[in-house]
Amino acid sequence: MFFRKTAIAEADVRSALCQYRDRYLATDLDSAQALKSLRISGATVELELVLGFPFAGHEAALRQGLEACLMAVPGVERVNIGLRQQIAAHAIKGGAKPIPGVKNILAVASGKGGVGKSTTAANLALALAAEGARVGVLDADIYGPSQPILLGVAGQRPESRDQKSIQPVMAHGLQTMSIGYLVDEDQAMIWRGPMVSSALQQLLNDTRWDELDYLIVDLPPGTGDAHLTLAQKVPVTAAIIVTTPQDLALADARKGIAMFQKVSVPVLGIVENMALHTCSACGHVEHIFGIGGGAKLAEGYGVELLGSLPLALSIREQADGGCPTVAAEPESATAMLYRDIARRAAAKLSLEAKNFAQSFPTIAITNT
């Protein structure tokens, strides 16, 4: 007795894909413009997917989820998935010119100091790189640069090959630049606002960034001169706000969110740092700075809580030692938290409007 195989209906396959929700995109793959081709051959379904964010640590789970989704379609016996990333430049506010060699500028900000913003910025940069992106870090804190110490390259000097521009200092695979590379470690920067703004623009524009998908800008705390320069003269793509659950930190974080919203820079979400502490002796968990503050702040402003990070001795020790957690312990639970936050932020950015201006060649018309 012979049984006729069920023919695969393309409509059924597309319906299944429309119901599949990736945990980072929060929408179906077709709506995210990730589905580039669909081919049915006998009992085999072949997909070509292109995601707009780096996903190295998520690839296995994504393949497994898609295969389970499609194998449930009547007639499907095999699933072949072509999967790759293509990180695009995204739209920036009107008037700002893109920085050569940089697709997207992500500002990492906090309303106040002491919330672990610089450590978070360094680890998020390393996490994006671990996921497969080309990443740079610009230390925008002119008065108190900390990225050279955090990334273990304090005391280095950037090279200038043409006496007009400077090469970024490489650290853990990241392209980095900081005023800390150009002045002595113990030199106090006693500068007024215009000098700070000028220095920040020079660091950004005079550095020869090499084909970055993301440039992470570690802003100083508050809403001062560096922030004003960034808002008015730098093509910032989006921002990430770092806070602790403490009421005082949340109050200042609100100012940071309001500032970016006022200048029409999308806020990708909030990172809640020092959310809980686990005692190394007994395992008791304490919410030292409060509980649920980041979630309430995110809900109040209609933005996403990208993730919560622990208050851990290892994070501080590794940062002070010049090898942040994602580089020092790449397989640790804390490193996985940073990578999850990085994927969420990058995936959210991938759904924003693209900047197609960088995709087109410059056309010059001359008389001959």
In three-state secondary structure terms, 174 is strand
pTM for the whole structure? 0.90
Domain identity same for 53 and 199: no
List Cβ neighbours of 23 (8 Å cut-off, separation of 6 or more): 58
Domain identity same for 77 and 111: no
Domain residues for 40? 10-85
Q: What is the pLDDT of residue 360?
A: 46
Residues 230-253 have pLDDT tens digits of: 767 788 999 999 998 888 788 888
Highest-pLDDT range among 89-98, 149-158, 185-194: 149-158
Q: φ and ψ at 95, to 5 degrees?
A: 100, -25
Name 272's bridge partners: 243, 308
Domain identity same for 320 and 172: yes
Lowest mean pLDDT among 100-114, 206-220, 272-286: 272-286
What confidence category does residue 364 fall into, taking pLDDT thresholds of 50, 70 and 90?
very low
Q: Nearest to residue 117, comparing CAs of 221, 258, 238?
A: 221
Domain identity same for 177 and 38: no
Token reading at 98: 């893109």
Task: Measure the CA dihedral 334/293/291/339, to 10°.
Answer: -10
* Residue with tokens 């060649």, as numbered in its chain: 361
Token reading at 113: 């100091």
Token reading at 71: 């194998």
Supply the CATH number for residue 269's domain. 3.40.50.300
Domain identity same for 30 and 67: yes
Domain identity same for 215 and 159: yes
Interhelix angle 117-130/333-350, rounded to 10 degrees, is 80
Token reading at 30: 């077709």
Domain identity same for 258 and 138: yes
Domain tally, the chain: 2
Mean pLDDT score of the chain, rounded to an integer? Answer: 87
List C-alpha distances in Å: 169 to 90, 114, 151, 281: 26, 26, 10, 40
Mean pLDDT to the nearest integer, 110-136: 93
Q: φ and ψ at 99, to 5 degrees?
A: -90, 125
What is the β-pairing status of strands 267-272 and 174-178? Answer: unpaired
Domain membership of residue 292 (yes or no) is yes
